[in-house]
Structure 1
Amino acid sequence: MKKILAIFIISVLAIFLLNKMVYQKVPEQDTKEQLAEVERYKHPLKSISMEYRDNSDLKIFDSILKDNKVLILGENTHVDGSTFEAKSRLIKYLHENLNYNVVLYEAGQYDTWVMNEEMKYHQLKTSADSIGGLGLFEHWWNAKENQPLIQYYQKTKTSANPIEIGGFDIQFSGGVLSFKRGKLLKDFLSRNAININNFPIFNKRINELNNFIYPKYVSRVLKGNQKNEFLQELTGLEQAVLKLEKTPENTIYARYFNDMKNYITKNWKYKSGSVKSMQFRDSLMAKNLIYQIDSVYKDKKVIVWCANIHSFAERYSKDYLPLGSYIRSKYGQASYIIDFSSYAQQYETGGPADKPGKWAIENIFHKTKTPYFFLNLRNIPESSFLKKEFVSTINQRVDMKKNWSRSFDGIFYIDINTVLTPIKK
C-alpha cells in the first residue's frame, strides 16, 4: 500500500512540474527585448499582390541580390495561398527589374519542359487555364492565387524578355499530362527510330506509368523478375536516346527516362515521407538542379521554387541533407535562400488556426502588428538572438528549435496566411 501511495505522489508531482514547464509564461523582459530587435531589423512590405503598382518596398532586394545567381524561394506548406501570392509578386519584380528570367520548380524535369514548350508553341492545344497542369503539381497552378503568375509566364513568352520555366524533380508532377505520357513517348521513340518492341514490358505498360509508383499495384502486374527487367528497360531506353544527336529534346528525354527509373525505384524501395526517401530524392533533385543551372541556363539568374524543408542550407539530420545544402555548397554566397513563415492560417470557415506554440518566434512577429515584412538575416549582427537558436514553425508549422540563420538567409513573414482557393470547373 505504501508503495502504491508513493508512486501516486510521484506521479502527481511529475504532472504538476510538467504543467508548470509547459504553461509557464515567456518572461516579459525577454519578449520586449526580442520584439525591439525584430522591429529594428524588419523591412515592412506593402502588399503581396502582383497587381500592386508601387514597388518601392521591394527595392531592398536590389542590393540584397546584387551579386546573386540562385535565389531559392521556399514555402511552409503547399496550401499557403498568401505565400504563393507573395512569391508571384516577387518573381514579377525580379524579372522586370533584376533580370531573373528562369524559374525552376520542385516539379518533374520532363513535365515542366513540356509545359514550357506548350507555352511557346501550343502544339498540344492545351487551354490557357490548364496549361500549368502539364508541368506543375495541382497546388501550384489550379488555384486562384496561382493563376495570375501562370498568366504572367504566358504573357512573357511573346515579349523580348520571356521567362523560361523548368523543373528539377524526379517525380511525375503534371496531372494534365498524365493521359498524354504514353502517346508522347511513343511518338518520340518512333520519330527517332527506336523500336519500342525491344522493350516489351515498357511497351505493354506505357499507358500505366503513373501507377508504377505504387508498390502494391506493381506487385499485381509484374511477376517474378519483371521488376528488375522493367528498370533495365528504362536504362536501355535512356542509353538509346543518349546515342542520338544532342538536341534539347533528345537530352530531356534521356533525362526523363533516368528520372523515371529513379522515381519508381524510390517508391519501391523507401516508405513515402521517410528520411531515406527524402535523402534519396533531394540528392537527385540537387543533381538535376545543378545541371539545369550550369548547363541549360548557364550565365542566367535562376529562381528556385520549392518547399522550405528542401531549401535548408544546413544538414537537417544525420541521415538527411536537403537540396539547399547542395546548392549552398556549390554556389556559396551567390545563392540566397528566402523561407516563408506565418503566425496563423485563415480558413474559409472560422477564425485563424494553426497558431504556434508559446515559445515560437512567430508570436514575436505577430506582436509587431505588421501584416508583411522581410528580415535579411545576413545583415543582422551575430550578437542578435536572431542569429542564435530560437523556436520557429517555419518547417511545416511544427515548433522546432534551431539556429535557423544557418538554414536560410531571409524570412518573408506573412502574419495571417490564407489557404488555397481551388478553381472550380
Structure 2
Amino acid sequence: MKKIMYIFIISVFAIFVLNKMIYQKVPEKDTKEQLLEVERYKHPVKSISMEYRDNSDLKVFDSILKDNKVVMLGENTHYDGSTFEAKSRLIKYLHENLDYTIVLYEAGQYDTWIMNEEMNHHKLKVPADSIGGLGLFPFWWDGKESQPLIRYYQKTKTSGTPIEIGGFDIQFSGNTLAGRRGKLLKDFLIRNNINVKSFPVFSKHINELNNFIYPKHVNKILKGNQKNEFLQEITTLEQAVLRLNQNPENMMYARYFHDIKDNMIKNWKYKPGSMPSMQFRDSLMAKNLIHHIDSVYKDKKVIVWCANIHTFAERYSKDYLPLGYYIKNKYGKASYIIDFSSYAQRNETGNIYDKPGKFAIENLFHQTKTPYFFLNLRNIPENSFLKKEFVSTINQRMDMKKNWSRSFDGIFYIDTNTILTPIKK
C-alpha cells in the first residue's frame, strides 16, 4: 500500500513539475506587453452575419489574398455555430469581391457532387431546405446558422458567377443521400451497360453501403474471403468506368468507386480517431483536393471548408501529417490558412462554459473586449511573441503549446461562440 502511495505522490509531483516547465506563468509586465501587441495587430470585425452590409471591416483580405489561389477556413469543432456564421460571411465576401467561385468541403466527393448537380438541375426534386443533406454532414447544413449560406449557394446558381460546391473526403457524408445511394449507383451502371450482377458480393450489398463502414456489421455479413472479394469488385468497377468516355459524370463515378474502397479500408483497418487513421484519410483527402484544384477547377480560386486540425501546415505527430501540410507544400504562399478560436461557448440556456486554461492566449484575446477580430500572422514581425510558442485552445479547445504561426496564416477570433441551433421542423 505504501509503495502505491509513493508512486502516486511521485506521479503528481512529476506532472506538477512538467506543467511548470511547459506552462510557466507569464510575468504581469510581459502580459501587458503581449496585450499591447495583440491590440496593435488585430483587425476588428464588426459582424459575423451574412446580412451585414458594411464590408469595410473585411477589406483587409483584399491585400492579404491578392495573389492567392486557395483559402482554407477551419473550425475548432464541428458544432461552433458562430464560426459557421463567420465563415458564411467570409465566403459571401470572397465570392462577391475577390472572385472565389469554388467551395470544397471536408465531405464526400460524390455526395457533394450530387448536391451541386441537384442545385443546378433539380432532377431529384429535393426540397431547397434539405438540399444540403445530399452532400454535407448534418452539422454543416441542418442548423439555423448554416441555412443562409445554403440559400446563398442556390441563389448564385442563377447569377453570372455561380458558386460550385464540391468535396474531397473519402467518407459518406450526405444523410439525405443515404437511401438513394444504391439506386443511383445501379442506374449509372445500367446507363453505361455495366452488368452489376457480374459483381456478386457488391451487387448483393449495394443498398447497405452506409452500414459497411462499421467493422462489427461487415464481419457478420461477409464471411471467409468475401471482404477481399468485395474490395476487388469495387476496383474492377472503377476500372470499367475509367474505360468509358471521360466526361465529368463518368470521372466522378470512377473516383467514387475509389473512395468507397478507401473508406472501407480506413474503417476496417484503423481505430477511429487514431493518428494512423487520420494520416490515411488526410493523405487521400489531399490527393482528392489537389486533383480538384489543379484539374477540375484549374483556373478558379478555391475556398476549402474543414476542421482546424486538418488545416495545420506543420506535422501534428510522428504518425500524422494533416491535409494543410500537403496544400501548403504544394501551393506555398498562394495558399492561406485561417483558423478559428474562441474564449468560451454559450449554450442554449445562455450559460458560458468551456473557458480556456489560464495560460492560453485566448485569455489575452478576451481582455481586448473585442467580440470579433482577425490576426494576420503572416505579416507580424518574427520577434513578436505571436511568432513563437504560445498556448492556445485552437485545436478542439485543448490547451496546447506550439509555434502556431507555422500551422496557419491567420486567426479569426470570436470571443463567445455559440452552439449550433437545430432547425425545428
TM range (shorter): over 0.9
Q: After the TM superposition, which residues 68-217 of structure 1 pair with which residues of structure 2 at under 5 Å, given as runs?
A: 68-217=68-217
Deviation at 1:28, TM superposition (A): 1.2
- Residue 389 of structure 2 corresponds to 389
Post-superposition Cα deviations, 1:339-386, rounded to whole Å, max 9, x if no partner, equal 000000110125211110011000000000000000000110000000
More deviation in 17-26 or 279-288? 17-26
Instruction: Decide whether aligned partners of structure 1 residues 15 and 134 sit closer, same or farther in structure 2, where only a CA change above 3 A counts.
Output: closer
Is 1:413 equivalent to 2:413 in the alignment? yes
Q: Distance in 2 between matches of 1:292 and 1:16?
A: 46
Q: Distance in 1 between matches of 2:57 and 2:166?
A: 28
Partner SS for 1:237 = helix
Instruction: Decide whether aligned partners of structure 1 residues 207 and 386 sit closer, same or farther in structure 2, where only a CA change above 3 A counts.
Output: same
- Residue 345 of structure 1 corresponds to 345
Paired residues in the alignment total 422
Contact conserved, 1:44 with 1:370, CA < 8 A, in 2?
yes
Deviation at 1:27, TM superposition (A): 2.2
- Residue 424 of structure 1 corresponds to 424
Deviation at 1:8, TM superposition (A): 11
Is 1:285 equivalent to 2:305 in the alignment? no
Is 1:399 equivalent to 2:399 in the alignment? yes
Contact conserved, 1:26 with 1:358, CA < 8 A, in 2?
no
For 1:125, give the aligned amino acid: K
Deviation at 1:29, TM superposition (A): 1.2
Is 1:275 equivalent to 2:275 in the alignment? yes
Contact conserved, 2:42 with 2:374, CA < 8 A, in 1?
yes
For 1:366, give the aligned amino acid: H
Q: Distance in 1 between matches of 2:231 and 2:11?
A: 59
Instruction: Decide whether aligned partners of structure 1 residues 17 and 424 sit closer, same or farther in structure 2, where only a CA change above 3 A counts.
Output: closer
Instruction: Decide whether aligned partners of structure 1 residues 348 and 206 sit closer, same or farther in structure 2, where only a CA change above 3 A counts.
Output: same
Contact conserved, 2:109 with 2:166, CA < 8 A, in 1?
yes
For 2:133, give the aligned amino acid: G
Q: Distance in 1 between matches of 2:284 and 2:206?
A: 24
Q: Distance in 2 between matches of 1:134 and 1:69?
A: 27
- Residue 295 of structure 1 corresponds to 295
Partner SS for 1:167 = strand
Q: Distance in 2 between matches of 1:39 and 1:386?
A: 12
Q: Distance in 2 between matches of 1:239 and 1:12?
A: 57
Q: Distance in 2 between matches of 1:118 and 1:211?
A: 25
Q: Distance in 1 between matches of 2:189 and 2:201?
A: 15
Deviation at 1:306, TM superposition (A): 0.4
Instruction: Decide whether aligned partners of structure 1 residues 12 and 175 sit closer, same or farther in structure 2, where only a CA change above 3 A counts.
Output: closer
Q: After the TM superposition, which residues 223-372 of structure 1 pair with which residues of structure 2 at under 5 Å, given as runs?
A: 223-372=223-372
Alignment root-mean-square deviation, CA: 2.1
Instruction: Decide whether aligned partners of structure 1 residues 13 and 49 sit closer, same or farther in structure 2, where only a CA change above 3 A counts.
Output: closer
Q: Distance in 2 between matches of 1:279 and 1:19?
A: 29
For 1:419, give the aligned amino acid: I
Q: Distance in 2 between matches of 1:424 and 1:197?
A: 42
Post-superposition Cα deviations, 1:156-197, rounded to whole Å, max 9, x if no partner, equal 001111000000000000000000001100100000000001
Instruction: Decide whether aligned partners of structure 1 residues 201 and 65 sit closer, same or farther in structure 2, where only a CA change above 3 A counts.
Output: same
Instruction: Decide whether aligned partners of structure 1 residues 267 and 16 sit closer, same or farther in structure 2, where only a CA change above 3 A counts.
Output: closer
Q: Distance in 1 between matches of 2:406 and 2:119?
A: 38
Q: Distance in 1 between matches of 2:100 and 2:261?
A: 32
Q: Distance in 2 between matches of 1:296 and 1:9?
A: 58
Deviation at 1:20, TM superposition (A): 10
Partner SS for 1:252 = helix
Post-superposition Cα deviations, 1:237-268, rounded to whole Å, max 9, x if no partner, equal 10000000000000000000000000001000
Is 1:58 equivalent to 2:58 in the alignment? yes
Deviation at 1:285, TM superposition (A): 0.1
Instruction: Decide whether aligned partners of structure 1 residues 161 and 14 sit closer, same or farther in structure 2, where only a CA change above 3 A counts.
Output: closer
Contact conserved, 1:328 with 1:335, CA < 8 A, in 2?
yes
More deviation in 22-31 or 327-336? 22-31
Deviation at 1:7, TM superposition (A): 5.6
Partner SS for 1:373 = strand
For 1:385, give the aligned amino acid: F
Q: Distance in 1 between matches of 2:12 and 2:255?
A: 61
Post-superposition Cα deviations, 1:323-352, rounded to whole Å, max 9, x if no partner, equal 000000110100000000000011012521
Partner SS for 1:72 = strand
Q: Distance in 1 between matches of 2:129 and 2:177?
A: 14
Deviation at 1:12, TM superposition (A): 12
Post-superposition Cα deviations, 1:203-262, rounded to whole Å, max 9, x if no partner, equal 110110000000000011100000000000000110000000000000000000000000
For 2:248, give the aligned amino acid: P
TM superposition score normalised by structure 2: 0.96
For 1:285, give the aligned amino acid: M
Deviation at 1:26, TM superposition (A): 4.1
Contact conserved, 2:72 with 2:336, CA < 8 A, in 1?
yes
Instruction: Decide whether aligned partners of structure 1 residues 384 and 193 sit closer, same or farther in structure 2, where only a CA change above 3 A counts.
Output: same
Q: Distance in 2 between matches of 1:346 and 1:7?
A: 42
Contact conserved, 2:25 with 2:359, CA < 8 A, in 1?
no
Q: Distance in 1 between matches of 2:15 and 2:185?
A: 65
Contact conserved, 1:340 with 1:413, CA < 8 A, in 2?
yes
More deviation in 6-15 or 128-137? 6-15
Post-superposition Cα deviations, 1:256-309, rounded to whole Å, max 9, x if no partner, equal 000000000100000000000000000000000000001100110000000000
Q: Distance in 1 between matches of 2:15 and 2:206?
A: 62
For 1:33, give the aligned amino acid: E
Q: Distance in 2 between matches of 1:14 and 1:323?
A: 38
